[in-house]
Structure 1
């Protein structure tokens, strides 16, 4: 009996993210390429066979090879609902690039469409597939730093010209709002935020968020499009030290607490916190996060055991959109928002 064929996948939208999905779909042996959709054409030259380039989702679905098994939705956020609905109704599993939708209401429409069609859906929060963050989370869960005090992220850099429909909160900070929940081990319970509008756009270009998770752990996130250098850093602080991930380079560091004794000086010892200890840089296996994400989704639709642990569910995607809306409301009102 011949082994089953890898699933056929398509990508809708050949922009910044879609072109990389197309590259992986055409080169990874765990999947087959069914085509790409972009009414603007293939401006980055991402599709090797021009016959597999389509101007609309309808053209893709009616192509000679038949509808794909799954599709990556990499169109602008405001187009997620009609695209996801059309694909799901055709029986196509969907991986939606983050954020799941522009609003909570639209995110629920996507979820309803996917569930009504009986297909699988997931959200492309690709940072969860970064090797440094995966290793960091595993070490936190194994108790390396003991009790966790704080999860903090920094995601700053210049403005990307591709952005047209959202501000920094829904485009970039959704990465961080998803990560603090994933790394911190509980949903976000409350947020307080400040935003800045410095570029003359309708949407915000800087946000500072502080908050608390449902398990009492604190978090903060700093995200902007105003910094003239690109920084991507996540740190988790605990009683035993601090783990720091540089996600641009997929590096992970551990800074140990060094408890320095103060013999014969009890009062000073009681006040003493921690001291600078050893620093370790870990050797990690590095794979492209987007390839890991696509492989996990293929495993999910194939029904492989344990595959759900490698993807971000639609419900988690909805939760992140809800937190992003709470961040914007907190910045608007000047008040802390509970979820």
Structure 2
């Protein structure tokens, strides 16, 4: 029985708490949050221990922890979790700076513990199915991937812009589907309702002839979460929300069989499965760092109005 904890019980953290509580082979050993009323209420609801100091949680003989706190706190909390001998799942983006991401990765390697980054869309059943379709060769060589992730602004997001908050999902997915790193990024963006950018078009280059285009905004009154893959033998249309994949070629329109499921449940199940079986959990720290590098490169691109090279 793996003993796990959760640090941070806001909107996303509460889902981590719920899913761990429901998992077989997992004991939700405790949760921590600075909001005493909230953490006590959740601890009572899920029959676990609640703490306002995460250091007290780390002293509870845990095996692993989900860290779901503001990004600027990731390095501090992850370091202390790793020092406590815990395997760590930290929510995206991995860190607020490349320096902090590098330090977290080095620390995890030093203590020989997993550092998994919560890029949840990799565990969307439609994305998982599309990855299989691409690898099967049905679409032929993939030459272009474009995404559209738009919707209304959430007032709780105050410390970052739309690229780091939601664009990071699709930037990671483009790399994941191509199975390649981004080497160039060019972005055009603006800030009209937010201190940081609230709309952006991000153009990615992978190798010499593979492209990705990520459109994000907080201005559209309804949510859209879609992705298109263009191959030499066909085109695939994915809907993240409906968890559907359509394949169009010269002769047919086909609908892929997708077993719908909650992406976060898939993600946490993968994390736990890897710990039980002594495997490395993915996306790992290096993959999370690359997504962060591309996001920061996109921000630099639109602010300096230039093409940015991504070094890795």
The two structures have a TM-score, normalised by structure 2, of 0.94
2:48 and 2:298 map into 1 onto residues whose CA distance is 44
Residue matched to 1:80: 74
Q: How much is the aligned-residue C-alpha RMSD, in angstroms? A: 1.6
Question: Does 1:168 pair with 2:168?
Answer: no
CA distance in 2, matches of 1:229, 1:21: 26
* Distance in 2 of aligned mates of 1:280 and 1:96: 37
**Structure 1, 232-241 or 47-56: larger mean CA deviation:** 47-56
Pick from 8, 14, 17 the counterpart of residue 22 of structure 1.
17
TM-fit CA distance, 1:242:
0.8
Following the alignment from structure 2 to structure 1, what is the Cα–Cα distance between the partners of residues 271 and 90?
A: 11
- Tell me which residue corresponds to 1:319: 290
> Does the CA contact (< 8 Å) of 2:21 and 2:46 recur in 1?
no
Does residue 241 of the first structure (1) align with residue 215 of the second (2)? no
Shift of 1:209: 0.7
Aligned length: 308
CA distance in 1, matches of 2:198, 2:6: 29
Provide the TM-score with structure 1 as the length reference.
0.87
Look up the match of 2:85: 91
Specify which of 206, 218, 224 is matched with residue 225 of structure 1.
218
- Aligned-pair distance for 1:185? 2.1
Q: CA deviation at 1:112?
A: 2.1
| In the alignment, structure 1 residue 255 sits paired with structure 2 residue 241 | no
Contact 1:67 1:92 (8 Å CA) reproduced: no
| 1:303–1:215 distance in 2 versus 1, CA, 3 Å | farther
Cα distance between partner residues in 1 of 2:127 and 2:170: 12
- SS of the equivalent of 1:138 reads helix
Q: Separation in 1 of the partners of 2:10 and 2:156?
A: 8
**Does the 8 A contact of 1:293 with 1:311 survive in 2?**
no
Query: In 2, distance between residues paired with 1:162 and 1:41?
Result: 19
Long gaps (5+) in structure 1: 259-276
Match of 1:212 in 2: 205
